[in-house]
Amino acid sequence: MDDGSIADVVLFRGERPAAVIEILVTHAVSIEKGGRIGIPWVELRAAEVLERPYWWIAAQDGLRPFTCRACEERGRASTAELSRVRTRAVAVAERLGIELPAAPIYRCAPHACWRCGSDMLVYAWPGGGRHSAERPPEPIPETVVHRATEGAGNYWVNSCPHCSAAQGDGYLVRENDAYGAVLRAVDGG
């Protein structure tokens, strides 16, 4: 290798090394060696390779994350969309004198109440929405409230600070693209 080390297996792309496969018999690849290799690498346990030569399970690796071009583009578009939503939400918060939650787990979007039409912010958080009975993380925004109804049971929901109307997630996702974007962001999709 370029650093003088000897690899068990080197895969080439043309004349240049492209990846390294290390076979673990007695000593694992150290953090120092893993950093020194300088190209993607994977370490396989010798006994497992002998037992199943066509099914490699990495003991550890230094593989670089790979994202396809389409996924990269979707990620950039999603980041830009979330930035636009955040800018609009901050403007609504400033106009209404609302302090945005300090907890980074919450994402917010501007919204007009379905009942009274008042401007407000609606929040999304991991595991929240969909009539979740699970208590949201602290500190809970003032407009995220616990409700109990005969039809839907106990759940946490965004509510209007002016008329107290529940802003259900089904309605929000259908009627508010900005809320859909923040909900997808907290759900990892």
Residue 156: predicted pLDDT? 92
pTM: 0.63
The answer to whether the CB of 92 falls within 8 A of the CB of 178 is: no
Question: Quick one: 81 and 35 in the same domain?
Answer: no
Question: Quick one: 118 and 167 in the same domain?
Answer: yes
Q: Does a structural domain hold residue 3? A: no
With a cut of 80, say whether residue 96 has pLDDT above it: yes
> What is the domain range of residue 42?
9-61
The rounded percent of the chain whose pLDDT value lies above 90 is 59
Q: Does a structural domain hold residue 1? A: no
Question: Quick one: 134 and 51 in the same domain?
Answer: no
Question: Quick one: 40 and 91 in the same domain?
Answer: no
Question: Quick one: 73 and 57 in the same domain?
Answer: no
126-143 mean pLDDT = 84
Question: Quick one: 51 and 129 in the same domain?
Answer: no
Q: How many domains are contained in the chain?
A: 2
Question: Quick one: 86 and 110 in the same domain?
Answer: yes
114-137 mean pLDDT = 87
Residue 130: predicted pLDDT? 66
Task: Give me the residue label for tokens 């107290």.
Answer: 164
164-176 mean pLDDT = 89
Residue 189: predicted pLDDT? 59
Question: Quick one: 74 and 136 in the same domain?
Answer: yes
More confident residue, 110 or 4: 110
Question: Quick one: 34 and 109 in the same domain?
Answer: no
Cα angle: 140, vertex 84, 184; to 5 degrees: 55
156-173 mean pLDDT = 91
Q: Does a structural domain hold residue 133? A: yes
Residue 184 to residue 107: CA distance in whole angstroms: 10
Going by pLDDT thresholds of 50, 70 and 90, the confidence category of residue 76 is very high
φ and ψ at residue 111, rounded to 5 degrees: -160, 150
Question: Quick one: 97 and 19 in the same domain?
Answer: no
Any residues with CB less than 8 A from the CB of 166 and at least 6 apart, and which?
Answer: 147, 157, 158, 159
More confident residue, 33 or 44: 44
Question: Quick one: 115 and 37 in the same domain?
Answer: no
Going by pLDDT thresholds of 50, 70 and 90, the confidence category of residue 117 is very high
Question: Quick one: 107 and 123 in the same domain?
Answer: yes
Q: Does a structural domain hold residue 2? A: no
Residue 18 to residue 5: CA distance in whole angstroms: 15
The rounded percent of the chain whose pLDDT value lies above 70 is 97
With a cut of 90, say whether residue 112 has pLDDT above it: yes
74 token code pair:
């979707």
